[in-house]
Amino acid sequence: MNSLLRFIFYILAGVVATANVAQASSPKREMRGVWLATVWGIDWPSVTGTSEAVSRKQKAEMTAILDRCAAMNLTSVFFQVRGMGDVMYESSSEPWSSFVSGSRGVSPGWDPLKFVVEECHRRGLECYAWVNPFRWSSGTDYNSAPDREWKKKGWLLSYGKYTVFNPGIEEVRDHIVGICREIVTGYAVDGLVFDDYFYPNRIPEDSSAPDYKLWQQQSPWMSFGDWRRANVHKTIADVHCMIADECPDVRFGISPAGVAGKAHTSAVKWGMESCGVKADDWQYKEIYSDPLGWLYQNTVDFISPQIYWPTTHATAPYESIARWWSEAASLYGCHFYSSMTLAPLEKSDTREQRRELLKQVAANRSLSLTGEFGSVLYSAKFLPKLASELKGSHFAVKALSPAINYGLAERPETPEKVAVKSGVLSWKEPSKKSGRTRYAVYAFPKHLSEDDVMDELGDGISSAYLVGVSYGTSAVVPAGMAYAVTTLTGNSIESEPAYHR
């Protein structure tokens, strides 16, 4: 119980009192995510090592980041757990990350992924494990025992300064699936997300290429480029199938480069209108990334392209690209959550720049064709620069993450025996519970009827009264209100409410 009471729903009375003002422009369901980068300590941690003092500082830094995320009414944290073939958790096959312990292959003495999942859930935040599936190095020659074994097996593919796990090798693809299985079955993560590192940039398509012989051995009837893209497709499809078998309520998405699907690359192949901006689809031929193929094949639940340009950009204007991605996601039955960068605030922390970023968040809502809204902010270290503006406008009201509906998914059962005592609402789990169950908690004035508090679009109780999400069976609530609790599946499908007046 003490652990649950430490989970505080931030600014409870303020949410209930002010929610009606912002509700008209705030959807009940919205991905509000943040990328939390760990390679080179970009966002976390600021120090590395194995001592107790270092681990205390690392944990304190992390909880401060998560406190900020919760205070901003974000829904999800994308925590980078595998950046260079090294991991931020206890793995059976990969070395510990030097970015936490200071030395590759050396344990920091604690499990960051376990800690972050627990601390996210304590605050009602989803935790997505962010994995770089192929990247091994951007210049360093790693030499831990697993690294030496991978070199011996010939698993690594190098060009220029980048070395990756060779996607053309079936053993490599199986290894990546195994790593992802280890994460989703060993930790209570809510999702798994890949970013945009695939083949080394501009690796040649001729006999000088280090994977030329492999291509000739496997599929000489295909073009070199199509073979490489097919290898990436296979990996993604295999990971998707594994998740569907092992943990079907874990969501899987990818964050590719922002421009894809031009007329001369993949739009026609997959039955999509060309992306109409001037900027090129460089990822198709330079790193062999073909996002429309993943959408067409239904091997991702969501796509989160990195649209890192302003609305006024000459060749890659934000709104035009976001509109195209929304249309693509709608066509293929996938969710679109735009990844947008806050990095310009580092050099130009001006009112105009903040307005530009708020405009992009608004565009993500207005351009959605299916109602699955979403913004994922890069990255966590920049959150303080936009926190007050987002909390005072677009994120003033809490939200649930969008529901992933696999066909005719059944609604979960309603919580039982709701009670309140000393400012703590409690309930009993429904008799039939499965997967990654959590709960949405609502509070509303007692004079309002059950009909009065319903969402105008028919999605259960309005988010104007949403206090937060609990991964346990109790929550701190504002006093003197009427309450409701619903069960949420891992895919955010919501049950009928259980009320307490």
The whole-model pTM stands at 0.95
Contact 379, 35 (CB under 8 A): yes
Q: Where are the alpha helices (DSSP H) in 318-441?
A: 318-332, 344-347, 351-366, 383-391
- CA distances, 299 to each of 325, 335, 455, 477 (Å): 16, 12, 32, 39
Task: Give yes or no for residue 28 having a pLDDT over 50.
Answer: yes
Q: How confident is the model at residue 100 (pLDDT cuts 50, 70, 90)?
A: very high
Domain limits of the chain? 27-391, 416-500
Measured from the Cβ of residue 234, the count of other Cβ atoms closer than 10 Å reads 15
Report angle CA 52, 54, 55 to the nearest 5 degrees. 65
Residues 6+ away with beta carbon under 8 Å from 371? 27, 29, 402
* pLDDT at residue 3 in the model: 40
Task: Give yes or no for residue 484 having a pLDDT over 60.
Answer: yes
Contact 232, 297 (CB under 8 A): no
- How far is CA 86 from its chain centroid? 19
Q: For the packed helices 351-366 and 383-391, what is the interaxial angle rounded to 10 degrees? A: 60
Task: Give yes or no for residue 224 having a pLDDT over 90.
Answer: yes
Measured from the Cβ of residue 167, the count of other Cβ atoms closer than 10 Å reads 25
Closest alpha carbon to 223 in 235, 210, 206: 206
Rounded to whole angstroms, the Cα distance separating 295 from 159 reads: 28
Q: How confident is the model at residue 86 (pLDDT cuts 50, 70, 90)?
A: very high
Backbone angles phi, psi at 303, to 5 degrees: -120, 135
Same CATH topology for 27-391 and 416-500? Answer: no
The structure tokens listed for 301 are 């639940």
CATH class of 416-500: mainly beta
* pLDDT at residue 217 in the model: 98
Q: What is the pLDDT of residues 238-258, one digit of tens each?
A: 999 999 999 999 999 999 999
Radius of gyration of the chain (CA): 23
* pLDDT at residue 233 in the model: 98
* pLDDT at residue 407 in the model: 62
- How far is CA 183 from its chain centroid? 14
Q: What is the pLDDT of residues 313-334, one digit of tens each?
A: 999 999 999 999 999 999 999 9
3-class secondary-structure state, position 148: helix
- CA distances, 438 to each of 122, 196, 467, 490 (Å): 11, 30, 14, 7
What is the CATH topology of the domain spanning 27-391? Answer: TIM Barrel (3.20.20)
